[in-house]
Chains A and B, each alone.
Chain A
Amino acid sequence: MAALMIGAFYNPHLGAELVRADGIDHLAMADPPAAGDPHWPAIRARYTLLLHDYLGQLSEPLDDRSIERARTLAELYRTPWVAEHFQCLHTVDGTYNLNYVFPPLYSEDFLERFVRNANALRARLDQPLVMENIPGFFDVRASQLPEPVWLRRFFDATQTGFLLDLPHVWLEAHYRGLKPERWLAEFPLDRVVELHVAGVEEDKDLAGPWIAPAEPSDEMLGFLAHAVTRCPQAKAVTFDAFSPSLTAEALFRSVERIRETL
């Protein structure tokens, strides 16, 4: 395995600290830079940037406007790959929108839709496409395939890369009552290009842990160390926290601990 890049998300409120920081190899971009961001030129000049914006949901074909936007951002960032999510979060007619990552039904029909639309997007991009797994808090009985099988078939049919979000796998294992390592082993880890790691926190509504812009626990870092040994094609690990509440200390300490772990 080549040396892994270790990085974080670009949090604009920490721009000044990130411009001066050591030990961060790349920054993932969740939003385009704000027009008045004084740190953006230095950030762009200094870092490898990964396009990780919302481009659209691949249950439907992306329209020309969305593809052009993706191409423009990819060029601006000089990104080595373009990331999107396995998500379907708004209704076809636009009436209902969850405004939060939400997985599709793991069915043959949705597999065919995602394969077709990802291939169409990939053909219009100048960079490889990677796709991130999304956690489910509950199973939908109309799903026909286990998520890891559905993902394997998607990657086989599209030759896209896998952005493995480890806390997402950890949470699913937690809510299924499985050991995270056992659940992880089901996924197509040979396709992984990038890994996300972050903390989880208790959520009152869910009455259990969920994704949070928090430092990874020692347990999560141990899970990362385990996962990386099973992802031979991995190129990068990203501390997945993007929030105005994130402090510079938490970001830098997390990246440092990830580096120490690996």
Chain B
Amino acid sequence: MSDRALQDDVIRALADAPYRKSAAWRTRGLADPDRVERFARFLARHFYHERVVHFFKYSRALARVTGRRPEAVLTRPGFEALVPSIVLGSRETAKAVAQLVVTHVGDAGAAIRYLGDLLQYEAAMMVVEAGPRIWREDPESGGEGAGSGEWSAPETVEGTVLLELAYDLPVVLPELLRPWSEVPQAPARSTKLLVARSPRGRVAVARSTDAIAALLGLADGRKTLAELAHGAGLEVRELEQTLHGLVELGAVRFSTGS
């Protein structure tokens, strides 16, 4: 095994609690198991503290009304119970930690009508951000973005989320981060939001439409552009523009033709 592979093994042991318990790791005897366990717990709390503070910043801004800071979950028994199963950066762990926050803040009983939508939105951001990412560009690839090849068979990227909300959150989000005395209100208006992630881990949100929702449901990597246009009720030119935007967001990827 190369030194680089050994380093990867140590990184995995710190990131992946079930692996840390496995015979495959323990029999290697690469490091003091007690120290590794303590450092892994430290890393887990740090990893999710950063994400909870970042992705739940709007409900954090509401903490003086709800009385609940989102990051408080990281020192509560629910998080301790998760520790033996935590895999840093995995969608499953992101879902579990986000759910702890949703329950903790949501159960505050605060009279904020859009709080449920807000927590759903913030949790979706945190879960979409999770998953493996590209750290270095492959010199052979075209990098991120729509590319310039002939498109064929678009496919919705795994993990992309469509939210259907009862309140128009994008209106109120900037207000929550500015100084306020009365809780800013969100218009009660049915709102669809698309949350997606680029291969490098940049999370983006965009307003969605019925056509985009249909397109994302249909884009399975097998249907042609004509089939997608027909299914989503779009003209082909309109479809191409929409797909360009979805690729930039990270919601759709293409294989490019020769």
Contacts and interface: CB of A to CB of B under 8 A. Distances in A.
A96 B16 contact: yes
A109 B6 CA distance: 11
A16 B113 CA distance: 35
Q: Which applies to chain A's interface (DSSP): helix, strand, loop or mixed? A: loop
Given A62-B136, A99-B89, 17 more contacts: A64-B137, A91-B8, A91-B11, A94-B133, A95-B132, A96-B12, A96-B15, A98-B15, A99-B46, A102-B11, A110-B4, A137-B42, A140-B6, A140-B30, A142-B3, A142-B6, A206-B38
A109 B136 contact: no
Contact of A97 (B35, B42, B133, B137): B133
Contacts of A63: 136-137, 139
A93 B135 CA distance: 8
Contacts of B137: 63-65
A97 B93 CA distance: 14
Interface of B: 2-4, 6-8, 10-12, 14-16, 29-32, 35-36, 38-39, 41-43, 45-47, 50, 53, 88-89, 132-137, 139, 143
A94 B14 CA distance: 14
Contacts of B16: 96
B8 A206 contact: no
Interface of A: 56-57, 59-66, 88-100, 102, 104-105, 107, 109-110, 113, 137-142, 203, 205-207, 210, 244
25 contacts: A61-B136, A63-B139, A65-B143, A66-B136, A88-B7, A88-B11, A91-B11, A92-B4, A92-B8, A96-B11, A96-B12, A96-B89, A97-B88, A97-B133, A98-B15, A99-B88, A100-B47, A109-B4, A110-B3, A110-B4, A113-B4, A138-B36, A140-B6, A205-B38, A206-B39
